[in-house]
């Protein structure tokens, strides 16, 4: 097919071929064919036909992150036979190829001079017949000798490329059968050169074009690789169409497999659909899947992605897919030492106990209002001391001894002195009448009768009859009429002083007499239940002695 800037002109071979760009393709040369080991895909790019193409390879590699460009691809000028026999720029390519045994040199070789001169079909048919008759064998033999002499005897020769189209003079359509015979003569002539190791690549256009490319296939004995040039153009509107169409990508793979040949993609790239990153992505995926010996992208406008700046999106896809990323060095696995975490006990901070302040309830004293004491001089009430006041027992006052009358004796004997109660002297404190406090409801304490001072007119005192005090009413005892000061109003005091002790009367010594039978009368005193418990049981006893041997008892 027609390629812009790719037609070789006899006067300026470099002008046209400088536009061709062989893009890198991954290559895995079979061990038997190229003597190399490994199955990786070699890639490259057509950057220019002469020395400038060689000089650009390192820059492309740098753009791809250091990826190795293993394929150097260029074209021989097809303007005249002298350039087809080998030009001077082949030395630069040979030098590049010899620098590394893993590199590959791919050389497109025209089958006719004036290869892009728009020769009509009838003239092409005549030239085909001449070639089949061996008229041009010498030109190809000289090319083979030159390549061997340059040290590149293993060059991949893409002979008569895109022969199924209408662009080149070496097309197959005017006479397919003679064309195949012509192919065989060229291969035979080049293989006749001693030291050669050439591999011949049969590379039609994708699709039917002018003629189905299988009709031009010269035979397995003179073909080593079955390649295909595939640009982003018709026939087919999608990449899937390019795969499935007649004479498309899938048929190319199947055909090569049926003939036991490896495949290649010497030319591929963008074209009539402009910047199409989807095509670039799908084509690279297809190449990776099919594992060709090599592939090269045509890197000039409108096909390219590196030197052509009008396809930025496709350029990013191409670069991302092929950029070599440095293999990360394996990080040595250093076992992390297990350092036991010290167990630090959490300090237990006791919660401070804040005592609740006890607020004492103020004790308000109940005011005690004393009851006014109303003195009653006639009826003194017995004292009922409170539990707090000390209990003062009432003194036991002996009753005066009343002598019983007896018959007069001729010899009167002196009567014994009966102690009489001594009236208190004026200096002695008068007994203080007890406070007229209401008696306790339990039982009023009886008051012992006070002794009655004997009157001077009554020589014989009368003994009072014992009267048991009634519990209902206190006993009223008349006070002696002594010249003591009249009682003043009684003021209640916190304590009641004890009464002055009664002096014991002194009995004058009496002459001892014979023992007399004593007579004694005792009257129990009832002080009430409460006072009796306090002072015990008491009684008043009266002794009467009537004389010796007297048995009279007046009662």
Work out whether strand 538-544 and strand 519-525 pair parallel, antiparallel, or are unpaired: antiparallel
Compute the chain's Rg from CA coordinates: 81
Within 126-239, strands assigned E span 156-159, 199-202, 225-227, 230-231
Residue 260: its pLDDT value, please?
A: 98
pLDDT tier at 439, thresholds 50, 70, 90: very low
Task: Tell me what pLDDT residue 134 has.
Answer: 96
Predicted confidence (pLDDT) per residue in 531-550, tens digit: 777 766 666 666 665 555 55
Q: Tell me if 389 is assigned to some domain.
A: no
Is pTM beyond 0.85? Reply is: no
Who's near 331: CB < 8 A, 6+ residues apart?
A: none
| pLDDT score, position 448 | 41
> pLDDT tens for residues 472-506?
444 444 444 444 444 444 444 445 455 555 555 55
Within a domain: residue 41? Answer: yes
Condensed to tens digits (0 to 9), the pLDDT of residues 39-79 reads: 479 999 999 999 999 999 999 999 999 999 999 999 999 99
522 domain-assigned: yes
Tell me, yes or no, whether 346 lies in a domain.
no
More confident residue, 15 or 537: 537
Lowest mean per-residue pLDDT among 174-188, 254-268, 446-460, 520-534: 446-460
pLDDT of residue 529: 72
- 449 is a domain residue: no
Distances, alpha carbon 250 to alpha carbons 28, 183, 361, in Å: 20, 25, 110
Q: Do 280 and 314 contact (CB within 8 A), yes or no?
A: yes
Query: Looking at per-residue confidence, does 295 or 32 come out higher?
Result: 295
Asked if residue 18 is part of any domain, the answer here is yes
Contact 293, 31 (CB under 8 A): no
Look at the chain and report how many structural domains it folds into: 2
Condensed to tens digits (0 to 9), the pLDDT of residues 120-165 reads 999 999 999 999 999 999 999 999 999 999 999 999 999 999 999 9
Going 168 to 169 to 174 to 176, the CA torsion angle's sign is negative
Q: Residue 258: which pLDDT band, with cuts at 50, 70 and 90?
A: very high
Give the per-residue pLDDT at 324. Answer: 75
Task: Give the CATH number of the domain where residue 177 resides.
Answer: 3.20.20.80
Where in the sequence is the domain holding 231, given as residue range(s)? 13-322
Q: Is residue 314 part of a domain?
A: yes
């Amino acid at each position: 097919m027609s390629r812009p800037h790719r037609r070789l002109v006899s006067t300026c071979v470099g002008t046209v071929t400088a536009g061709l760009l062989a893009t890198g393709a991954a290559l895995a040369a079979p061990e038997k064919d190229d003597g190399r080991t490994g199955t990786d895909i070699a890639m490259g790019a057509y950057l220019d036909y002469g020395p400038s193409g060689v000089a650009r390879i390192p820059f492309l590699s740098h753009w791809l992150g250091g990826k190795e460009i293993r394929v150097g691809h260029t074209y021989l000028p097809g303007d005249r036979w002298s350039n087809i026999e080998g030009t001077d720029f082949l030395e630069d390519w040979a030098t590049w190829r010899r620098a590394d045994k893993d590199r590959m040199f791919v050389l497109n070789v025209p089958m006719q001079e004036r290869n892009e001169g728009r020769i009509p079909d009838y003239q092409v048919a005549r030239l085909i017949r001449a070639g089949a008759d061996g008229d041009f064998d010498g030109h190809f033999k000289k090319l083979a000798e030159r390549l061997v002499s340059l040290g590149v005897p293993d060059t991949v020769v893409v002979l008569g490329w895109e022969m199924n189209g209408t662009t080149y003079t070496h097309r197959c359509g005017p006479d397919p059968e003679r064309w195949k015979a012509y192919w065989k003569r060229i291969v035979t002539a080049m293989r006749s050169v001693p030291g050669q190791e050439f591999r011949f690549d049969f590379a039609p256009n994708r699709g039917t074009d002018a003629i189905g490319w299988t009709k031009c296939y010269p035979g397995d004995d003179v073909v080593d690789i079955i390649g295909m040039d595939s640009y982003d153009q018709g026939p087919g509107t999608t990449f899937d169409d390019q795969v499935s169409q007649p004479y498309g990508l899938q048929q190319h793979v199947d055909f090569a497999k049926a003939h036991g040949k490896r495949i290649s993609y010497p030319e591929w790239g963008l074209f009539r659909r402009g910047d199409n990153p989807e095509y670039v992505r799908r084509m690279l995926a297809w190449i990776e899947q099919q594992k060709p010996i090599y592939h090269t992208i045509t890197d000039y406008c409108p096909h390219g992605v590196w030197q052509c700046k009008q396809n930025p999106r496709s350029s990013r896809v191409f670069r991302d897919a092929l950029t070599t990323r440095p293999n990360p060095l394996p990080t040595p696995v250093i076992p992390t030492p297990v350092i036991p975490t010290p167990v630090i006990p959490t300090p237990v901070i006791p919660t401070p106990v804040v005592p609740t302040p006890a607020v004492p309830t103020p004790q308000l004293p109940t005011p005690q209002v004393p009851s006014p004491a109303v003195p009653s001089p006639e009826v003194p009430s017995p004292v009922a001391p409170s539990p707090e006041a000390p209990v003062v027992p009432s003194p036991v006052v002996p009753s005066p001894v009343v002598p019983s009358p007896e018959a007069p004796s001729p010899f009167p004997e002196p009567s014994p002195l009966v102690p009489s109660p001594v009236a208190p002297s004026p200096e002695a404190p008068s007994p203080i009448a007890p406070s007229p406090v209401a008696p306790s409801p339990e039982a009023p304490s009886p008051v012992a009768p006070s002794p009655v001072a004997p009157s001077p007119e009554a020589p014989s005192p009368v003994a009072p009859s014992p009267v048991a005090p009634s519990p209902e009413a206190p006993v009223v005892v008349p006070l002696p009429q002594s010249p003591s000061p009249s009682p003043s109003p009684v003021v209640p005091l916190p304590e009641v002083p004890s009464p002055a002790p009664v002096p014991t009367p002194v009995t004058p010594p009496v002459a001892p007499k014979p023992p007399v039978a004593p007579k004694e009368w005792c009257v129990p005193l009832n002080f009430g239940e409460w006072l009796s418990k306090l002072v015990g049981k008491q009684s008043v006893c009266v002794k009467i002695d009537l004389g010796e041997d007297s048995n009279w008892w007046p009662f």
